[in-house]
Structure 1
């Protein structure tokens, strides 16, 4: 599915990137930027490169470029990218470069919740608002007055991280496998 997401401004600068499976170099965006230079704003939403597929949308002067390693239905990815932008607009009232940079911690949290290993997981706004509290003016004022910084634990009082590990072991010529799962409770 989606291996990486690059968010690019109108000048062609990558100002935010998120990787789910493997880290893909920013140089993959050169194909997209070349298409932007040659075609202006009339960019083909699907660009096939030798090793990747770039699927993109443009909203609010910002380009959202999803990088996929295998051929998948492009409308599915395009719809998901629009869902990401709609969620950002729901959380921040707009989706521009400055707003994304201002709220990058919440943006990364939303992307983590919306995709699991590159597959869409939680895309409904009401579900996401239960998991990640949207920033509001009162919280911003309180943080400014108290001097608190914008870290993820201020938005989530309880955060669960699941660490899964599959361990193989051998006793007397028999092979066994155990699956360990740990939940870490942070305040």
Structure 2
């Protein structure tokens, strides 16, 4: 799916680069930035640009551009949707409606943590801000987990593996029922 995710500024300089596979070199990404982003060609060409054998799916947002690069035959609509959802996620974490170069530079550690959570080997995972805010905090004071407390460790495991945005934690039913229509 996504081999490399990059955030460029309006000059084509790399602000954030996260590689999930090693089939796209940094030089190819930098060439795309110099050739397409810096010359404003990406806005004219559309969201998918092919340079050599690499496909670059880009979404401009203000003075930054989010780019996902792949060499595979990937679903470009899914990648574009992911990039827009990632912009929404960044806005939820960083606050405000605009994203600029200064916000990206100030919060690069947080952005790398988010990228590690939302993409697993280039495949999109959890994109809900409410769920991610439980695990990725902006402050430096994080909750310390007592490794000897097995009850606390069980809660963390269940919360991390069973996290869904449409169902709150701790809901219990008296009867577990399944209805099946047989035709």
TM-score (norm 1): 0.68
Consecutive unaligned residues of structure 1, counting only runs of 5 or more, are 140-149, 159-187
**1:31 shift after superposition:** 3.2
Q: Is the 8 A contact 1:32 1:54 kept in 2?
A: no
Which has the larger share of strand? 1
Q: Deviations over 1:116-159 (max 9, x none)?
A: 010011111111111112x3xxx5xxxxxxxxxx6xxx45645x
Q: Deviations over 1:73-107 (max 9, x none)?
A: 21110110111111010000142111111011111
Is residue 101 of structure 2 the alignment partner of residue 105 of structure 1? no
Change (3 A) 1:73 1:100: same
SS at match of 2:12: coil
**1:43 shift after superposition:** 3.6
**1:35 shift after superposition:** 3.0
Structure 1 match to 2:36: 35
Structure 2 match to 1:126: 130
How large is the Cα RMSD of the aligned pairs? 2.2
Q: How does 1:117-156 map to 2 (within 5 A)?
A: 117-133=121-137, 135=138, 139=139, 154-155=141-142
Q: How does 1:31-180 map to 2 (within 5 A)?
A: 31-36=32-37, 37=39, 39=41, 41-93=43-95, 94-133=98-137, 135=138, 139=139, 154-155=141-142, 157=144
**1:19 shift after superposition:** 0.9
Higher normalized contact order (CA 8 Å, seq sep 6+, divided by chain length)? 2
Distance 1:31 1:72 in 2: 19
SS at match of 1:42: helix
Consecutive unaligned residues of structure 2, counting only runs of 5 or more, are 146-183
TM-score (norm 2): 0.69
SS at match of 1:2: coil
